[in-house]
Amino acid sequence: MNLTRMILLLLIACAGASAVRAAESTEAIPPVPDFELNRYLGTWYEIARLPHRFEKGLSRVTATYTLNPNGTIHVVNRGFKAAKNRWSQAEAKAWVPDPEFPARLKVRFFWPFSAEYKVIRLDPEYRWAVVTGSKNNYLWFLCREPVMDEALYESLVQYVRDNGFDVSKLIRVEQDEAGDE
């Protein structure tokens, strides 16, 4: 299954389809304040994530955000599927539905489905971020570099644990350089 199809499955799940395990809302976890979209743009490396079919078996995952002329964000998610020795990529459009909460975005890979993308922790220098969706079974640790300091990683794990995420399921994403195009 390619990344595009897997992302469609995520959007269906976010839209309310039944999930394998019960997930709780992340509504009580506020998005970061004073979010500056222009500083967030660029490439992020996925350091850790909760498991999902759309990313199963992917390593060297990145997310790249660029601003479109109309103010929306062009999203390119890319990862390497070692089992098939190939890269997989999915593109999406994101936007800020409420300017009062710019760290709470909507992302659409396929019309008409969209999913919440909420930045809940962010380094003041925009070097790392923690992102979730509307439910606590969606979680990503992102970093501007392919590695994250272990003490920082552990502090982020504690933060998300304290906010109801099942950290026993976190997957550390391999970000090695072998096999790059």
With 70 as the cut, is the pLDDT of residue 14 above it?
A: no
Residue 51 lies in a domain: yes
Band of pLDDT at residue 2, cut at 50, 70 and 90: low
User: 179 in a domain, yes or no?
Assistant: no
The residue-averaged pLDDT of 55-76 equals 95
Q: How much is the pLDDT for 111?
A: 79
Flag whether pLDDT at 10 surpasses 50: no
Residue 49: inside a domain: yes
Residue 3 sits at φ, ψ, to 5 deg, of -60, -35
**Residue 46: closest CA among 159, 147, 155:** 147
Q: How far is CA 3 from the centre of its chain?
A: 14
Chain segment 15-43, per-residue pLDDT in tens: 443 344 467 888 889 999 999 999 999 99
Q: How far apart are CA 172 and CA 147, in angstroms?
A: 10
pLDDT of the residue at 178? 46
Q: Give a yes or no: residue 73 inside a domain.
A: yes
Query: What range does the domain containing 47 cover?
Result: 3-16+38-172
What pLDDT, on a 0 to 100 scale, did the predictor assign at position 163? Answer: 94
The CATH number of whichever domain residue 53 belongs to comes to: 2.40.128.20
Q: Is residue 24 part of a domain?
A: no
pLDDT digits (tens, 9 = 90+) for 128-174: 999 998 888 899 999 999 999 999 999 999 999 999 999 999 999 99
> For the chain, what is the mean pLDDT?
86
Residue 28 covered by a domain? no
Q: Which tokens belong to 73?
A: 């964000």
Give me the DSSP letters along 126-159: SSEEEEE-SBTT-EEEEESSS---HHHHHHHHHH
- Gap between the Cα atoms of 145 and 131, Å rounded: 16
**Domain total for the chain?**
1
Q: Is residue 180 part of a domain?
A: no
Q: How far apart are CA 113 and CA 94, in angstroms?
A: 12
- The answer to whether residue 178 sits within a structural domain is no
pLDDT of residue 112: 78
Buried/exposed code over 115-148 (b: 16+ C-beta within 10 A; e: otherwise) = bbbbbbbbeeebebbbbbbbbbbbbbbbbeeeeb
Least confident window among 22-31, 45-54, 82-91, 94-103: 22-31
Question: Pick the residue with more confidence: 75 or 13?
Answer: 75
Q: Where are the beta strands (DSSP E) in the chain?
A: 42-49, 58-67, 73-81, 86-95, 104-110, 113-122, 128-132, 139-143, 171-172
The SS3 of residue 47 is strand
